[in-house]
Amino acid sequence: MASFHLKIVTPESLVYEGEAERIVVRTVQGDVCILPRHIDYLSALGDGEARVTYDGHVHKAHCVGGMLHVAGGKVEVLSTKFEWMDGE
Partner 1 sequence: MAGASMKDIKLRIRSVESTKQITSAMQLVAGSKLRRARQRMEDTRPYMNAAREVIADIAAHKDVISPFFRKQESAARCVVVIAGDRGLAGHYNAAVFNLADGLIGDDTQVLPIGKKAVDRYARRGAKLVSDVYLKVERVSSYDCRNMAERLIECFLHGDYGEVTLVATTFESAMTQTAFTTTLLPVTPAEFEPSEKPRTQLLMEPGPAALLNAVMPDYLAGVLYGAACDAVACEMAARRNAMDSATKNAEQMISDLSLSYNRARQGSITQEITEIVAGAEQ
Task: Give the nearest distance from C-beta 56 to partner 1 in angstroms.
Answer: 26
Shortest Cβ 62–partner 1 spacing (Å): 15
Between 15 and 53, name the residue whose CB sits nearer to partner 1: 15
CB of 60 to partner 1, least distance (A): 22
CB-wise, 18 or 58, nearer to partner 1? 18
The footprint of partner 1 (CB under 8 A) covers 7, 9-14, 27-29, 32, 39-44, 65-67, 69, 71, 76, 78, 80-81
The four Cα atoms 87, 76, 49, 81 give a dihedral, to 10 degrees, of 60
Judged by CB, which is closer to partner 1: 60, or 78? 78
CA 61/CA 87 separation, integer angstroms: 9
